[in-house]
Structure 1
Amino acid sequence: MGSTTGAESSVTHHRLQFVVFVLGLFHLEMACADAIWRMYIEPKHLRTDPNGLYQHMCKIRPHDSSRIGSKPGFRLMHDLIHQCAAARMLDAWRVEVGRHNPSHSTLEAFATSQPSWEDVEALSLALVARYVDKPGSPDGEFRNASLILGRLLLYVELCHAMKHGDIGRVERTFLHWVFVFKKVGKHKYASELVRISNNLKHTYPPRLARAIRLNWLCNPTGKPDGFLLMVDWLVELMNLFTKVVYGSSGYTRTYQLVIKQSPLIELFRKVHTLFQDNFHLLHRSVRHAPPDLTNTIKILLEALQVHDVHVLKPGRAVDVQLEDHLRDGMHIMQTTSGMVDRDGEGDDDDDGEAEDTMDIGIDDLEAAE
């Protein structure tokens, strides 16, 4: 065979055959939030459960109940997941410290005792073993609470790992999300996670795999917890500035202008911010001080304590028994064939589903800026 001709080389170049495409972690985070919505919010029969996620979310966001039940935006769902997870973790801590020492009936009493770090670490391990992901529990209410807490903690772990740049921990969550995605019908995301995990561990050369891991997240702030800016998030933000904020309007809004101005977008943004700072313009964006969640957590804790959802009571029945999405998804994985074909395409068993994730807007993109 002769050498590759210039024409063939040009075709290969224009086909982008040299490019390695990688799943964006911001879109993965949105898909995970959407999966939790599909598991615990979308089913109508789960909305009457007083200890379910829908009822708890409506307690702290009563004016957003219709949005929560229909198709909430990513930012709303993201915040609600973290708030519900925090309350459920605190309630589990309350029950566990009281079980170990009856004098610690509240978390305040436990904190007053000034426990050592070793004690806190031992209790945290006991919490995971006792209260997280217990599908075989003889207490129906406790079982449901353990399944919800397990899925919420998985999402919190993913977000925390991405925020702190712990890409190894991010990868460790992939397999769990593969099972969840298969169960809720997000087959393309499940296939993509399997593909990228297999390529990073067994296909790509070590240096290429390392380059992907080191460039999956970006940290423009330089702070230890400043890795919240996923690369695909940054691309979406630049698209927003290029096409919407600084894209002009009317007859001057042309493709030529957008392309011409695109290299100057960051400069435009810096000049804009400089003017705002010099004129001391307050409340100029969606970036606000961290919210005070004291009342929010209090409302959720009261609801959890009334029904003793984290207190094991064998034989307690529930009107609605939650599905074990993790193990059901594992069963689907083991009983279906062809997760990823030769061309890297996913299963064709999604019934033509569009694989839409949650809507994102300027609030979602600028919140982490």
Structure 2
Amino acid sequence: MRKRQEEETRKRTEESQRQTVLQETLDHLEQNDISFFDLLVYAFGSKTTTKHWKQRNLFSKPGAVNTVLNLWISKEVSKRGRRDVKAWAVDTVQQILEREAEAASQTGFLRTANRPINADFVLGLDFKQLGETTQLACPKMFQLMSAVATTQRQQGECKGVTLEHKNFIVTSVIVNLLGQRSQNNNYMQHVLGLYLYATGATRQQISVLNHLGLSVSYTTLAGRGGKGFTLADSVDGEEDQIGINATAGQQQRMGTLEKLSISMRERARQVAREEDTGKVYDNINMNWKVQEQVIGRTSSQENGTCATLIPLFGVTPEALKTSRLNESLDKAGLLLEKDLELTKSERDLLETCLVHAVLRIAVRYGGPELQVFSKEVEDETLVTAHKIPVHKTPVYPLPTMNINEASTSGNAEVVDAILKELRIDTSKPEFAEKLRPIAGDQLSIARLRSVAASRAGNEGGASAMDWALNTPGLFHYKMAASHGILQNHLGEANHDLNNPGSLSAHNTVLKRKPIVLSSLPPFRTCRDLIFTSLYARVLHCLVLVSGKPSLKQFSEDITWEELKAYARQVIKQFTDSRKVDKLRESREFGRGKGDMVFENAILFLRDALHLREFSDAIKSGDSGRVCIILKLFAHSYRGNGRTKYAQEMLHLIHNLTHIWPPDVKDVVLKNWLVNPTGKANSWVEIDLLQEHLNFWIKTFYQAHGSGASWEWLATISPCVEVLRQLATHVNVTLGSAQGNRHAEADLTEDLDELLGHLDHNNVYREQPGRIFGEGDRPAPDAIAAGRHALTWGANAPLKQFNSSFRKLQCRRRIQPLVGGHAVSRPATSPDIRTSLQNLTWTVKAELMSCLQRIALRTLRAPIVCIPFRLEIS
């Protein structure tokens, strides 16, 4: 205690002595007419003192400078003195910020000048990394802005997320200020402007945000003009790079979107040069409305074509040799009835797939008790050898073409325009030596095949189009199958009592808008009705085969093995068309027999399960499962009256079984589905991908009013994919957590209503004697009817198909008039023997058809075989 007192006394004494010395020093300065200012300037402004002395006497003491400056702005100093100190502080901070801003501009992390406008430019801005980069480039500026945005209390109380948000706001302000300092520092404004355009913002909205410094102007995005230069010339194969054939004025007028369009087109050309690629195209219908119409400016609907380039996956150079396909086609046999039927192994595979389709439906829609089996369903899902490995499919949209593909010549023009756009030289001999897959809807593929057939024997080389590997668009096949089911099972309106299993009755139970076959709603509405009805029927049939009174009791304490057994029983009991045949035959021999309601219910469950399995196989990317259902569609299309799709299925099955070599078949099966996300169970049909791109072009990116033109569509369409990626990127980084897909509709109440309706009306309980009301008719067995229509009669479609194929083979062996040698034979002129042999096939086919017609009219029976031979000596 005593020592502490002595220590305190000693310190007070020393402090008193120090104060005395300091006061004497000040008095001495005053006596000698030396101001304290002179002393400071002498000590720190001259070379009389060393840096070490300055450091030791002032700057080495922590907080010494802050203490002095704080004293100079305290109330003990005059107002003028405080004002001078603060003015000095502001000037000093201003200089520091100017130096930081200049340094940040020199680093170029926000600079757009001399930076290529391409996909990397659009997607390369990392908003999270931008804050760190800005803080490193402008640390004092960031500190000052943070002090404005955050109080001391908030610094201690706010959560980390809130402080991160404040830091991002500070970053945004600094970036905006740097953009105002130099127009070159507008990288973020460019990206946000493109984001606004990608999400459908109007010109006025973009202009408002431009005035707030958050975006570039609409003119900077879209340009002032010069669009004719950038795009119209490209179809003729001229260079359209920035700076080539362009004046300085034209370059200045080009907007960011125009530059991006040119870059994306050049990227597509590079991919076409360096990789094996396929193409898909589809028509796009543009409705251009004019509110105040005058002569030469009226509302119109115009038809064009959109196309997309897609790199092929899993192909080898050997698989894409045209000569191998031509040789295989020349040796190919005819399409036989057995080729259209499922083999024993395929039937077993189909049954397994349908059982798993029932299991998927039960687990997904059967309530929480059955959802516990989700892992078992996923683990036991059948996988064929043709399942596509998961990978992300790159997509390169091409400029929209003002070509109507509604005709055969239009399709040929589209293909020529695509090749010209990609700068592919078709005059080179090696062009026709390589297969190039082309995908589209049924009509497009049929017309391309027609073009190739008409040119066979007349034109050779590239113009013969034997290099085109026609790939079907499975989405349009799915639509045709859905329309066939709806056509057969919709039923008559207001016939709910005597046809309670019809889709019309179920549509009424679900209180949805009426559906009329002559004016169908969108495809999704029709498909949803079919699937919702299917889900209820599957759950109802599971309850029936289990003998339980309700779905709730069915789900209680059920095991996985029991659920699989019930699913197999449902397939066996309620999808067997032979049972339908027996019931309908019994009705023909006596009244009170058969059951129209039960018969239709069995056929619907079978056909809808086929459609569900087809959709699931596509989503999982399993081409093997897809092919099995397509064989069934070959018959059902014919039975439903979809004759064009039925004919297309004959070509596809013939290609798969007789024409395409195994590796060529593998090319098609691996590339008729695409995966834009690179995730499992995210596969879509290649033609559906094109439909999605068409949707974005029509909904978000088309110009309106006087700005609407094919030139602008050609400009914006190559940018669609990268703009959608930008929108997703910005939404995920800065937007709210909404996800990138909508929530699945809750069908609980819908299924409860349908389950009650099915049970009350005994739809899946056989009750002999039930018939439909007047005007309603039993649904045809589309598969059986299609099989019969396909093969019966002298002019059966299968026979006509084979006859046309033989004629095509003969024509391909003829030396073409122009363009090279015969497609299926060496480059030598055919002799008379070859020509007569080719003629033999044609004469034989025509004679056989004639004799068959005579036999049917006279003998009432077809001729099985007619010996025919043309001797050549």
TM-score interval for Structure 1 and Structure 2 normalised by the shorter chain? 0.7 to 0.9
Alpha-carbon distance change, 310 to 50 in structure 1, aligned in 2, over 3 angstroms: closer
Q: 1:251, CA displacement in angstroms?
A: 3.5
Separation of aligned partners in 2, 1:45 and 1:308: 18
Cα deviation 1:193-245 (Å, max 9, x = unaligned) = 12111101221111110010011111222332111x21111112223334552
Larger deviation, residues 62-71 vs 230-239: 62-71
State the match for 2:251 in structure 1.
none
Residue in structure 2 matching 1:118, options 529, 548, 561: 561
Residues 46 and 112 from structure 1, CA distance in 2 versus in 1: closer, same or farther, beyond 3 angstroms? Answer: same
2:684 aligned with 1:234, yes or no?
Answer: no
Query: Which of residues 757, 780, 788 in structure 2 aligns to 1:303?
Result: 757
- Percent identity over the alignment? 26
* Alpha-carbon spacing, 1:7–1:222, altered in 2? closer, same or farther (3 Å): closer
- The answer to which of 315-324 and 163-172 deviates more is 315-324
Residues 1:109 and 2:553 are matched in the alignment: yes
Query: Residues 152-163 of structure 1 correspond to what in structure 2 (within 5 A)?
Result: 152-163=608-619
TM-score with structure 2 setting the length: 0.35
The one-letter code sitting in structure 2 at the alignment partner of 1:326 is I
Paired residue for 2:544, among 60, 72, 95?
95
CA positional deviation for 1:180:
1.6
1:59 pairs with 491, 501, 509, which one?
509
Paired residues in the alignment total 330
SS of corresponding position for 2:744? coil
The Cα of 1:322 is off from its aligned counterpart by 3.0
- 2:780 paired residue number: 323
The structure whose RCO (Cα within 8 Å, separation 6+) is larger is 1
SS of aligned partner of 2:633: helix
| Letter of the structure 2 residue corresponding to residue 121 of structure 1 | K
Within a 5 Å distance, the mapping from 1:245-260 to structure 2 comes to 245-260=700-715
Contact 2:499 2:597 in 1 (8 A): no
2 CA distance for matches of 1:282 and 1:111?
A: 35
1:325 is displaced (CA, Å) by 2.2
Tell me the CA shift for residue 254 of structure 1.
Answer: 3.1
Alpha-carbon distance between aligned partners in 1 of 2:554 and 2:754, rounded to the nearest angstrom:
20
1:294 pairs with one of 721, 743, 748: 748
Change in 2 beyond 3 A, CA 1:74/1:202:
same
Q: Name the counterpart of 1:338.
A: 797
Residue in structure 2 matched with residue 358 of structure 1 by the alignment: none
User: Counterpart of 2:573?
Assistant: 130
Superposed displacement of residue 256, structure 1: 3.0
Structure-1-length-normalised TM-score: 0.80
For residue 468 of structure 2, give the secondary structure of its aligned residue in structure 1: coil
Which stretch has the larger CA shift, 172-181 or 47-56?
Answer: 47-56
Match of 1:86 in 2: 535
Q: Answer yes or no: is the 8 Å Cα contact 2:639–2:782 preserved in 1.
A: yes
Structure 2 spans left out of the alignment, 5+ residues: 1-425, 433-458, 584-593, 810-873
Could you tell which deviates more after superposition, 19-28 or 259-268? Answer: 259-268
C-alpha distance after superposition, 1:301-345 (max 9, x if no partner): 1110011121234x232225332222112111121423433369x
Say whether the 8 Å CA contact 1:54–1:69 is kept in structure 2.
no
3-state secondary structure, aligned to 1:221: coil
Change (3 A) 1:82 1:210: same
Asked if residue 30 in structure 1 is aligned to residue 479 in structure 2, the reply is yes
In 2, the alpha carbon distance for the partners of 1:44 and 1:17 equals 50
**1:276–1:7 CA distance, 2 compared to 1 (3 A):** closer
Separation in 2 of the partners of 1:202 and 1:290?
A: 43
Indicate whether 1:178 and 2:627 are aligned.
Answer: no
CA apart distance, 1:146: 0.8
* Cα offset, 1:277, TM superposition: 4.8
- Inter-CA distance 68–333: structure 2 relative to 1 (3 Å threshold): closer
CA contact under 8 A between 2:489 and 2:600: conserved in structure 1? Answer: no
The match for 2:670 is: 214
CA distance in 2, matches of 1:66, 1:297: 19
Tell me, in whole angstroms, the C-alpha distance in 1 between the residues paired with 2:727 and 2:703: 15
Structure number with larger C-alpha Rg: 2
CA distance change for structure 1 residues 329 and 253 in 2, over 3 Å: closer, same or farther? Answer: same
Going from structure 1 to structure 2, the CA distance change for 1:251 and 1:13 (only over 3 Å counts) comes to farther
SS in 1 for 2:785: helix
Residue 437 of structure 2 aligns with which residue?
none
The verdict on how the C-alpha distance between 1:282 and 1:67 changes in structure 2, with shifts beyond 3 A counting, is farther
Structure 1, 294-303 or 140-149: larger mean CA deviation:
140-149
Aligned-pair distance for 1:128? Answer: 1.0
1:271 to 726, 731, 755: 726
Corresponding residue for residue 657 of structure 2: 201
Question: Is contact 2:493–2:504 with CA below 8 Å preserved after alignment?
Answer: no
